[in-house]
């Protein structure tokens, strides 16, 4: 462990990160004691109101889980059947959380791996698990959590079920915003809403089970009922988010496509590999190059940055590390900013969407993808990573 990390950990023991504790499991347990119908009839007064939060000088509206206590949540959807289409990571996470929140949820899947997984997790064919068209028929809120490519491919099968009074829900603005490419144009007489949890569906589920909640964004594309925003926020709470910030479909899709191609995955892989390659070229061993590039980052510094911010990290490391980081961050910023500008433009003008849709529908898509993924997995850095992770005491 480097001095930076040691010093940071020492500091962390002195500066406790603030934490809000609440137990959703406890809340779920409490809900399970109350019959659903009884909860729906209960008059509730527990409303905290909308909060305006100052984010670094800009005021934004946020909604919190506590704005929708269980009785209010059940009351909001007392006449609804929530039909979740797809049981990939996002469909699974949201559907299980809705089910644990006692809402009336059914699944729509094609027969195959998603269907089998749903059955293995307690969904019953004919009761709360159906083929996609049947779920669309029964649902009043159609929660389209199929893959983005399948949302486009199956649109003409789903559309006839989107009758007046129903609600169409997404977790990504992709299909609607890039409708010229996807063909997804919702009927004008239904509400169209979005809740986009900021992470994978697996995290949506795991944090809910831990009594925590992923953050997410909420948006309304069409409000026919006059209640679209209210129902979108309520659904966000139902699927397990902890708090929601406001966005639009367009801002959501652009920031999401940009972020995952940038610092979340694309840029970080590029930076990791570049740093590792220079270390190796300068005679460092694979274990040293990996530890100085990935292991220390993910195991020590990133959790501290997540808990306290980079400003705290800079203020709580050795003076040697501090001097170097202060001197070099602007060079990395200046070198990478033109690439980020190019990336945002490629997202905003639809190039990224078109590429994603066309690549995903090529006949040899699976084989080409395997080859690209193998290139990453077979890189010495990630092969070294496998060996390093095995050495962690908790993995032995």
Ligand X SMILES: NC(=O)c1ccc[n+]([C@@H]2O[C@H](COP(=O)([O-])OP(=O)(O)OC[C@H]3O[C@@H](n4cnc5c(N)ncnc54)[C@H](OP(=O)(O)O)[C@@H]3O)[C@@H](O)[C@H]2O)c1
Q: Is 372 known as a binding-site position?
A: no
Residue 139 binding ligand X, by CB under 6 A? no
Q: Supply 224's token pair.
A: 């026919």
Q: With CB under 6 A as the contact rule, which of the stretches 23-31, 32-40, 50-58, 148-156 interacts with ligand X?
A: 148-156
Out of 150, 168, 192, 301, the only residue in the binding site for ligand X (CB under 6 A) is 150
Minimum CB–partner distance for residue 308 and ligand X (Å): 24
Residue nearest to ligand X (CB): 88
Out of 114, 241, 254, 353, the only residue in the binding site for ligand X (CB under 6 A) is 114
Minimum CB–partner distance for residue 368 and ligand X (Å): 17
Out of 172, 233, 258, 343, the only residue in the binding site for ligand X (CB under 6 A) is 172
Out of 69, 91, 236, 242, the only residue in the binding site for ligand X (CB under 6 A) is 91
Residue placing its CB nearer to ligand X in the complex, 74 or 220: 220
On whether the CB atoms of residues 28 and 59 are closer than 8 A, the answer is no
Residue placing its CB nearer to ligand X in the complex, 11 or 147: 147
Q: Supply 278's token pair.
A: 């220079």
243: left (phi over 0), alpha (psi -120 to 50) or beta: beta
**Residue 284: active-site member:** no
Q: With CB under 6 A as the contact rule, which of the stretches 80-88, 282-290, 312-320, 343-351 interacts with ligand X?
A: 80-88
List phi, psi (to 5°) of 60: -135, 155
Q: What is the C-alpha separation between 290 and 384, in angstroms, rounded?
A: 7
Catalytic site residue from 172, 284, 333, 379: 172
Q: What is the DSSP track for 15-56?
A: SPPP-----HHHHHHHHHTS-HHHHHHS--------EEEEET
Residue placing its CB nearer to ligand X in the complex, 102 or 172: 172
Q: What is the C-alpha separation between 352 and 343, in angstroms, rounded?
A: 9
Task: Name which of residues 266 to 305 contact ligand X (CB under 6 A).
Answer: none
Residue 142: which of 123, 153, 127, 157 has the closest Cα? Answer: 157
Out of 113, 156, 358, 361, the only residue in the binding site for ligand X (CB under 6 A) is 113
On whether the CB atoms of residues 174 and 353 are closer than 8 A, the answer is yes
Residue placing its CB nearer to ligand X in the complex, 69 or 197: 197
SS3 of 391, please? helix
Out of 36, 78, 153, 389, the only residue in the binding site for ligand X (CB under 6 A) is 153
Q: What is the C-alpha separation between 345 and 242, in angstroms, rounded?
A: 32
Q: What is the C-alpha separation between 4 and 299, in angstroms, rounded?
A: 13
Task: Name which of residues 295 to 354 contact ligand X (CB under 6 A).
Answer: none
Residue 200 binding ligand X, by CB under 6 A? yes
Residue 183 binding ligand X, by CB under 6 A? no
Q: Is 256 known as a binding-site position?
A: yes
Residue 104 binding ligand X, by CB under 6 A? no
Q: With CB under 6 A as the contact rule, which of the stretches 52-60, 81-89, 223-231, 326-334 interacts with ligand X?
A: 81-89
Q: Please count the residues of this chain forming the interface with ligand X, following the rule CB under 6 A.
A: 27
Residue 108 binding ligand X, by CB under 6 A? no
For the CA atoms of 382, 384, 385, 388, what is the dihedral angle to 10 degrees?
180
For the CA atoms of 14, 18, 23, 27, what is the dihedral angle to 10 degrees?
160
Q: CA dist 58 to 124, 196, 219, 246, 309, Å?
A: 47, 21, 19, 13, 18
Q: Is 296 known as a binding-site position?
A: yes
Minimum CB–partner distance for residue 188 and ligand X (Å): 22
Run of H or E residues at 105? strand 105-108
Contacts of 377 (CB under 8 A, 6+ apart): 383
SS3 of 96, please? helix
Residue 240 binding ligand X, by CB under 6 A? no
Residue placing its CB nearer to ligand X in the complex, 196 or 304: 196
List of residues contacting ligand X (CB under 6 A): 86-91, 109-110, 112-114, 145-148, 150, 153-154, 171-172, 174, 196-198, 200-201, 256
Q: Which residue ranges are tagged as binding site for substrate?
A: 318
Catalytic residues, by residue number, are: 172
């Amino acid at each position: 462990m480097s001095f930076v990390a040691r010093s940071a950990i020492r500091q962390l023991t002195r500066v406790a990160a603030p934490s809000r504790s609440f137990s959703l499991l406890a809340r779920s347990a409490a809900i399970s004691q109350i019959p659903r119908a009884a909860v729906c009839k209960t008059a509730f007064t527990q409303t905290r109101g909308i909060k305006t939060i100052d984010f670094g000088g800009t005021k934004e509206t946020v909604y919190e889980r506590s704005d929708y206590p269980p009785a209010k949540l059940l009351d909001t959807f007392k006449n609804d059947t929530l039909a979740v289409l797809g049981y990939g990571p996002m469909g699974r996470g949201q559907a299980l959380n809705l089910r644990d929140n006692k809402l009336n949820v059914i699944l729509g899947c094609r027969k195959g791996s998603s269907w089998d997984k749903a059955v293995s997790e307690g969904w019953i064919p004919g009761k709360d698990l159906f083929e996609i068209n049947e779920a669309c028929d029964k649902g009043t809120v159609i929660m389209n959590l199929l893959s983005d490519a399948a949302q486009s491919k199956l649109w003409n099968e789903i559309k006839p079920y989107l009758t007046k009074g129903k609600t169409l829900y997404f977790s990504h603005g992709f299909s609607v915003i890039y409708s010229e490419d996807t063909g997804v144009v919702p009927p004008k007489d239904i509400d169209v809403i979005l809740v986009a949890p900021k992470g994978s569906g697996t995290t949506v589920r795991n944090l809910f089970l831990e009594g925590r909640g992923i953050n997410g964004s909420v948006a309304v594309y069409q409000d026919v009922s006059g209640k679209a925003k209210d129902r979108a926020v309520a659904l966000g709470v139902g699927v397990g988010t902890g708090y929601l910030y406001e966005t639009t479909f367009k801002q959501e899709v652009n920031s999401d496509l940009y972020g995952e191609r940038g610092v979340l995955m694309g840029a970080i892989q590029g930076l990791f590999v570049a740093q590792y390659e220079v270390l190796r070229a300068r005679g460092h061993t694979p274990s040293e190059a990996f530890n100085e590039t990935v292991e220390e980052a993910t195991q020590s510094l990133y959790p501290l940055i997540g808990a306290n911010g980079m400003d705290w990290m800079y203020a709580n490391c050795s003076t040697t590390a501090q001097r170097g980081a202060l001197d070099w961050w602007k060079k990395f910023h200046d070198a990478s900013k033109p690439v980020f500008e190019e990336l945002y433009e490629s997202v905003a003008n639809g190039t990224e969407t078109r590429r994603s849709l066309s690549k995903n529908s090529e006949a040899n898509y699976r084989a080409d993808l395997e080859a690209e993924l193998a290139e990453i997995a077979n890189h010495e850095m990630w092969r070294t990573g496998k060996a390093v992770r095995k050495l962690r005491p908790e993995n032995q």
